[in-house]
Amino acid sequence: MDNKTIAARVQALLAEMTLEEKAAQMVQVPVAYVGHEEALRWARLGAGSFLHVLGDEARELQKAAIEETRLGIPVIFGIDAIHGHGLNDHATIFPSQLAAACSWNPEVAYTMGQVTAREVATDGLHWTFSPVLCLGRDTRWGRVDETFGEDPYLAGEMGAAIVRGYQGDDLSDGEHILACAKHYIGYGEAVGARDACDTEMTYRKLREVFLPPFKKAVDAGVASIMTAYGSIDGTPFTSDRTTLKDILRGELGFDGFVVTDWDNVTSLVHRQHVAGTVQEASVMAARAGNDMIMTTTAFYDAVIEAVRAGKLEESVLDEAVRHILTIKLRMNLFEKPEKAGRPGCFGCAEHLAKAKDAADKSLVLLANNGVLPLQPSVKKVAVIGPNADDIRAQYGDWTYFTHPKPNLAHEPVRPYVTVKEGVEAACKAIGAACVYHRGCSVLDGEYEDIAGAVSAAKDADVIVLVVGDVIPQIGEEKDRAVLELSGRQMELFDALRALGIPLVTVLVASKPLAVGRAATDADAFLCAFNGGMFGGEAVAKALFGEINPSGRLPISFPRSSGQVPVYYNSLPGWHALPGRGYCDLPRTPLYAFGEGIGYSAFAYDGLTLDEKTLEASVNVTNTGSMTGTETVQAYFSDVVSSVITPVKQLIAFRQVTLAPGETKKVSFRFAREDFSLVNRQEQRVTEPGDFVLRIGHSSRDEDLLEAAFRL
C-alpha cells in the first residue's frame, strides 16, 4: 500500500472516530499488571496497544478488539525483546546490547534484530522496545548492559543495523516487527547515574552527543521512538515540545509514532511535580507530541474530559492517532492483524548458530601473559567462581527470569552453555580433567567456601575464575555506588592467586566493574559481559584457541568507583598534574574504549591523508602467529574551535582479517561533515581550521598514528 493510499485511509478512519475512540487508541495497557479481564475490557474500548502479553492471550485480545468494537481497529502488541525474544522461555537469547557492541560489527546487530523479529512475529506480536540508544557513560547506572556503549558513533552504527534487522524492507511482511529507539533522549546521563533522575542537559549538548544515534535510527526508518524519564533545563522530556516536535519530527524527519516510557505521564505529577493532576499531565504530554501513552490508563478519561472542557484541542488527538494508524496500515494489520512469523523457528538450528556466532564475536581479551590459548598438554583445569555456572547471570536482564515480573525461580530452559559446561566439554575433547567449585557468592551472606575452592584447584594446571554481577544488581532502579567486585570475590581471587598456578579471570557481568587486581594480577583477563545462550561455550572456545577473540571494548573500565565517569571522549581542561589525574589515581581508565588484544598483534605504519579528497589510508600488519581480525579505528580532534570539543572523537572504523605476516592497506573516505561540531547557536557546522586525524588500534594515544591537516 503506497503512502497516498495510507494517508487517505487514515483520514477516512479519523473522520469516523469518536473522541472516546481516539483517546483509546492512544493508550497502551500493561496486561501483566491489570490482569486478563481488565485487558479484555480495554480491548472492547478500542485500546491502541497492549504490553507484555504472549501467544494465545494476545490472540484473544486482538479478536476482541477487532470483533467487539465499532471500527475493528487492530491493536499493536509490544514486548521487551531486548536481546532476543527473551521473555518467552523457548526463544533464542543473544548477548546483551553491550556485549554485542564488543563485536564492533553492525552485521552482528542486524542478525540479532532479524532473528528476534522472526521469533517475536511467530508469537503473533508486532513490536519490540529496542534498541536502547542511550550512552553508557556512567557505569554506575543500572542499565548500562542495554546500551551499545559510551560512544555516539558506534551506538549509531549498531543501532541503525539492529533497526534494519527488526524491520526489514517491508513492515507488512510476516517476519518483521516495529523497532523502538529509546530513550529519547539522554536517559543514561541521569545525575549520579541515578535511574530516571534529572539529567544535566542542554540543547547544544543534546545535539552534539546524544542525538546522532537517534538520527541514524531515523535514517534507517525506525517506526517508533520512546521518550525518556529525564528533563532538559527543568522541563521533563515527556512534556518538551522542542525535542519531540521541533527536533525529532522537524529536523530529523521522523514519521513514526512516539510512545512514552513506563507511566511517564503520572510521573509528571508524582515524581517531577510539574503538573498538579493527571489531567494536567495528560494535556502536557499530548501537546508535546507523545502519541501513545504507556501504562497510564487514567490518560483515557483525563483527555476526554479535557477536550470537553475546552482545555485541549481535539486536533491534538487527531495528530497522535494519525501517527499510530499510519504505522498500523504500513504493517497491513487491518488485513493481517497477527504476525505469522515462521512456525518452528524458536530455537531452530539457524537461530542457535547465529546466537553462537554473536557470542564468539563479543568476547574481548584484555590481558594475556602467554597463558592463553591453553595448550593440549593441559591435564587439569579448575573452573572456579560464582558466575561460572549461573545461567541467570550469564543472560543478565530482560529474560524470563526478570520480566515482566521477577521470577528467579523459573527453571532454566535448554539449550544453553555456561562457562563451566563449556570448559568441561573442551577438556573432554582433549582428554583433560575439569573440576568445578563455586567458591563464594556474588552477594554477601549467600554462600562462602573459599577454602573448598582452593582445595579443588590446588593440583590444577590452570585456574579459570569467573566473577561478575548478578540479576539483583542489574537493571532499572539497580544503580550501584560501588563498582568493585561484590561479596567475597576478591578474597577468592587472592586465595587462588596465592597457589601460584596460572590463573585466568573471566568477567561475566552487565557492565565494566572495577575489577582491580582480579584483572591486573591475573595471567589473563577475558571480558564476556552477558553472552546469552552460548556465552559459556564462546569463553571455552577462546580459552582453548578454537577462536581468536576479536572483540574491542565499546566502553571503558574504571580503575575504581570514584573514577567514573571515565569515557574516552571527555572534554579537555582538567586542572591536574601533567600525566596524572586524581591525586591517588591516573587519569586513564584501567581498560580503554576500543581496546582488546586477541591472540594476534597488529602493527600500523604509513598513515597518509589527502587534504583535498579527505581520503586516508594506513598499513596494518598481523605480526602474530594466528589469523586475526583487527578493528581499525579512526578518531579526530579539532585543534581550536568555537566551543570546547572532545579530546578525540570516533568517526569511522573498519575490520580487516589478516593471516600471520599479512599486510593490508585500510582506507577511509571522509566528508567535511565528519569533522563537524554543534556551535553555540545549536547549528552543526564544520569550522575552518586545523585538525588532527588519528588512526590505530584503540582510543589510547599510544595506539594511534597521527596526521595533521587543515580545512
Q: Which residues are designated catalytic?
A: 261
Where are the strands (E) in 438-544, listed by range? 462-468, 503-508, 524-527
Residue with cell string 533545563: 233
Nearest residue to 79 via CA among 163, 178, 181, 154: 178
Q: Which of 117, 55, 94 shows the shortest CA–CA distance to 345?
A: 117
Task: Give the separation between CA 524 and CA 509, rounded to whole angstroms.
Answer: 17
Give burial (CB, 10 Å; 0-12/13-18/19+) of 446.
exposed
Contact criterion met (CB below 8 Å) for 559 and 590: yes
Residue closest to 366 by CA, chosen among 18, 19, 700, 26: 700
What is the sign of the dihedral through the CA atoms of 653, 211, 145 and 346?
negative
How many Å apart are CA 546 and CA 348, to the nearest integer?
24
Give the pairing of strands 628-638 and 462-468.
Answer: unpaired
What is the DSSP track for 239-250? G-HIIIIIIIII
Torsional sign, CA 628, 524, 356, 148: negative
Euclidean distance between CA atoms 90 and 84, whole angstroms:
10
Strands 235-236 and 649-658: what pairing?
Answer: unpaired
CA pair distance 615, 42, nearest whole angstrom = 58
With beta carbons less than 8 A apart as the criterion, state whether 510 and 467 touch.
no
Give whole-number Cα distances, 99 to 144, 146, 554, in Å: 11, 9, 9
Orientation angle between helical segments 314-330 and 299-308, nearest 10 degrees: 130
For 571, other C-beta atoms within 10 Å of its C-beta total 10
The beta strand positions in 105-246, using DSSP E, are 127-128, 180-184, 224-227, 231-232, 235-236
